[in-house]
Chain A
Amino acid sequence: MKRFDIVSLESPNRAPLRIEGFLFGEENTEGPSIAIVGAMSGDHINQLYVASGLVEYLRIKEEEGKISGRILVIPAVNAYALNMGEKNWPLDKTDLNMMFPGYAQGETTQRIASRLFETLKGYDYGIILEGRRDQGMCLPYVKLIQSGYEDLECVKDLGMGFIHYRPHEPVETAMLQYNWQLWETKAFSIVFGKNGSIDQNDTDQVHTAIVRFLSKRDILDFHVFEGHKSNILDPNRITIVKASRAGIFISKVRCGTAIKKGEVVGVIMDALSGKKLEKMLSPCEGIVTCQYAHPLIFQNSIAFRIASVELCCQIDAKRE
């Protein structure tokens, strides 16, 4: 294992920002290469945990002679934010994952992104460990955006239950996944957990999926059990349950719960009077893939996302 600084940036008063990389395998190996990027935001603790856990796991596997490719793990991109409970770059609040491919002569976070991206270019595969951008938590899923260079087949080797495969939004053209794909790395994101926390089940699941991917792509000489046959979803195949009222939100289900049509999935209470304002019922049979994760909910917030087999079948039937 080689531990090295990818970026070192002096600060006016703080200790320098260091983005550290952990490299496994022989530099000149003919085996495939992969880079795994952890916490880009200061609240991506699950992502930090998975990435640092992989560093320790791969260190042992390397000692056992099991690494047949080249693996770079970057557990924390935004250590400055992690160290002070901020989400974004602490001075100007810019999101590092909105700065790609970066610009070497640009502003501070553009320069950080540029130096990082120089290191990430040229890898065969790229995994970005992402948190959610809302107040939700979700079943771990793969986010694969359509840039014209994406590779859906390789993503299936993770063996994860759901792959969200959809066109990219304008805002995503400044994100790492899109740019990495344009530079011909088979890049994708794994989105999981609730920001600011560690979920042991979710992180275990993501760790296992990455190890499975490494094994199936001949980067790691180690056998693992098969995972799921992934379900490919797009936003049209997800049923949304919104909060018609604001207040204290009590969820009655967990992500991954199979629910029936008409089942109570949550309750909203008036935060001052305690009166029950809304009983939220599932409009369909399916699996809860995502739910609002803060105890106070805004009116019209999305409380649940439900993957419905019936809806998927209807869409497929229409297409046929």
Chain B
Amino acid sequence: MGLIEEVITIELPVGESFRIQRCRYAPKKEEGIKRISIVSGIHGDELEGQYVCFLLGQWLRNNPDKIRGIIDIYPAINSLGIDSITRSIPFYDVDLNRIFPGSKNDFLPAQIADGVVNIMKGSDFAIDIHSSNVFLREIPQVRIAKSQEEILVPLANLLNIDFVWVHDAVTVLESTFAHAMNTIGTKTLVVEMGVGMRLGKAYGHQLLDGLLNLMSHEGILDIEPLDVRMPIQSHVGEVAYLNAACPGLFVPAIEHCQVIEKGSVVGHIVSALSGEVMDEVIAPISGMLFTIRAYPIVYEGSLLGRIFGKTNGDSQ
């Protein structure tokens, strides 16, 4: 059984404390061993990570003799947000994942970010599990800034995910938890999967296998490596974005994670008022629809989906 601790406690104004809790699993001898932090709930409306934390905790409780490193599970960083369907830090309405590494001498969300970095400092690895937001549904994927490609892609390939997306990082992403941790030497992967405010059991089990496999490879668990899937690598193709051409109600024509042909219909934007079909959303390339809109109300520009296809347009 893991050791549950409150690692950050901050008084709230009226008879309550803000808290971040950790469940630590460790072998009896803690010297010279690796440490991994499993992180969830930086965004309060993303819950897939909570289920993964549960599954991992359950596995560790059943297999204490396999533990060879320190495994820290943080299911709810933005605990106020998770318990109130609030993405940002309530009261301040600030996205916690845009103010890292934080500061002791700034407002409360920045102090929380600073505290989070300090309690996880010294971890060899961190896995930051996000759902998508409430608008988009994603297949299990890891996103990696190009500057970190060499170090992190081999690690991501162990995670039993479907897609590794290496992207050109914009400067604003320097304000994320992952960037802050990678900067101080903790190899940190950002997992995106599912959709905000919901659980997908299959994705949770898929990532659990990936976490066990990664920990096996790194000597944190004394188990045989698992037979995991090799993710599609973004460098072998291109990502096409589908943005709404007009406002309305988006009605998908196909399921998520389908392989589609260039020119096929992804969905329609319709008018609830007039009964008209306002636009037909067409796939600009052949490939895998790895993102699809889950929340139907759209404005011009709203993201409807993403397709990953080989550079020559062939499907994967």
Would you call B297 an interface residue if the criterion is a C-beta within 8 Å of the partner chain's C-beta atoms?
Answer: yes
Would you call B84 an interface residue if the criterion is a C-beta within 8 Å of the partner chain's C-beta atoms?
Answer: no
Take A12-B249, A246-B12, A246-B13 as given contacts and tell me if A108 and B107 are in contact as well, using a CB distance cutoff of 8 Å. no
Give per-residue flags for B76-120: 1 if the beta carbon is below 8 A from chain A beta carbons, else 0: 000000000001100111100011000001111001000000000
Residues of A279-309 contacting chain B, CB below 8 A: 296-302
Take A10-B246, A169-B175, A171-B98 as given contacts and tell me if A296 and B14 are in contact as well, using a CB distance cutoff of 8 Å. yes
Contact B105 A171 (CB under 8 A): no
Chain B count of residues within 8 A CB distance of the other chain: 43
Contact B302 A87 (CB under 8 A): no
Residues of B within 8 A of A135 (CB): 91-92, 107
Contact B13 A300 (CB under 8 A): no
Residues of B within 8 A of A170 (CB): 171-175
Q: Determine the distance from Cα of A111 to Cα of B246 in the docked complex, in whole angstroms.
A: 12
Take A135-B107, A171-B98, A271-B13 as given contacts and tell me if A107 and B243 are in contact as well, using a CB distance cutoff of 8 Å. yes
Which of B98, B171, B301 has the most chain A CB within a 10 Å cutoff?
Answer: B301
Take A10-B246, A12-B248, A111-B301 as given contacts and tell me if A245 and B11 are in contact as well, using a CB distance cutoff of 8 Å. yes
Contact A107 B107 (CB under 8 A): no
Take A171-B175, A302-B107 as given contacts and tell me if A108 and B300 are in contact as well, using a CB distance cutoff of 8 Å. yes
Interface of A is mostly: loop
Would you call A93 an interface residue if the criterion is a C-beta within 8 Å of the partner chain's C-beta atoms?
Answer: yes
Q: Which of A91, A169, A171, A247 contacts B13 (CB 8 A)?
A: A247
Would you call A272 an interface residue if the criterion is a C-beta within 8 Å of the partner chain's C-beta atoms?
Answer: yes
Q: Shortest distance in angstroms between B237's beta carbon and chain A's nearest beta carbon?
A: 19
Residues of B8-66 contacting chain A, CB below 8 A: 10-15, 18
Q: Which of A93, A108, A171, A246 contacts B302 (CB 8 A)?
A: A108
Would you call B247 an interface residue if the criterion is a C-beta within 8 Å of the partner chain's C-beta atoms?
Answer: yes
Give per-residue flags for A2-30: 1 if the beta carbon is below 8 A from chain B beta carbons, else 0: 00000001111100000000000000000
Residues of A247-302 contacting chain B, CB below 8 A: 247-248, 271-272, 296-302
Give per-residue flags for B165-201: 1 if the beta carbon is below 8 A from chain A beta carbons, else 0: 0000011111100000000000000000000000000
Contact A302 B105 (CB under 8 A): yes
Q: Which of A12, A87, A174, A299 contacts B93 (CB 8 A)?
A: A87
Give per-residue flags for B242-286: 1 if the beta carbon is below 8 A from chain A beta carbons, else 0: 010011110000000000000000000000110000000000000
Chain A count of residues within 8 A CB distance of the other chain: 42
Q: Shortest distance in angstroms between B17's beta carbon and chain A's nearest beta carbon?
A: 8
Q: Determine the distance from Cα of A248 to Cα of B18 in the docked complex, in whole angstroms.
A: 16
Take A298-B108, A299-B11, A300-B111 as given contacts and tell me if A174 and B299 are in contact as well, using a CB distance cutoff of 8 Å. no
Residues of A within 8 A of B246 (CB): 10
Q: Determine the distance from Cα of A290 to Cα of B11 in the docked complex, in whole angstroms.
A: 22
Residues of A within 8 A of B300 (CB): 9-10, 108, 111
Would you call A83 an interface residue if the criterion is a C-beta within 8 Å of the partner chain's C-beta atoms?
Answer: no
B173 to chain A: closest residue by CB: A170
Closest A-B pairs by Cβ, 6 of them = A299-B11, A246-B11, A170-B174, A296-B13, A108-B301, A134-B107
Would you call A240 an interface residue if the criterion is a C-beta within 8 Å of the partner chain's C-beta atoms?
Answer: yes
Would you call A205 an interface residue if the criterion is a C-beta within 8 Å of the partner chain's C-beta atoms?
Answer: no
Would you call A320 an interface residue if the criterion is a C-beta within 8 Å of the partner chain's C-beta atoms?
Answer: no
Residues of A within 8 A of B98 (CB): 98, 171
Would you call B126 an interface residue if the criterion is a C-beta within 8 Å of the partner chain's C-beta atoms?
Answer: no
Q: Determine the distance from Cα of A106 to Cα of B300 in the docked complex, in whole angstroms.
A: 9
Contact B170 A174 (CB under 8 A): yes
Q: Which of A11, A133, A248 contacts B247 (CB 8 A)?
A: A11
Give per-residue flags for B295-311: 1 if the beta carbon is below 8 A from chain A beta carbons, else 0: 00111111100000000
Contact A92 B135 (CB under 8 A): yes
Q: Which of B247, B273, B297, B302 contacts A10 (CB 8 A)?
A: B247
User: Could you pull out 12 A-B pairs where Cβ atoms are within 8 angstroms?
Assistant: A12-B247, A108-B302, A170-B174, A171-B98, A240-B105, A247-B14, A248-B13, A271-B14, A271-B15, A298-B11, A300-B111, A302-B105
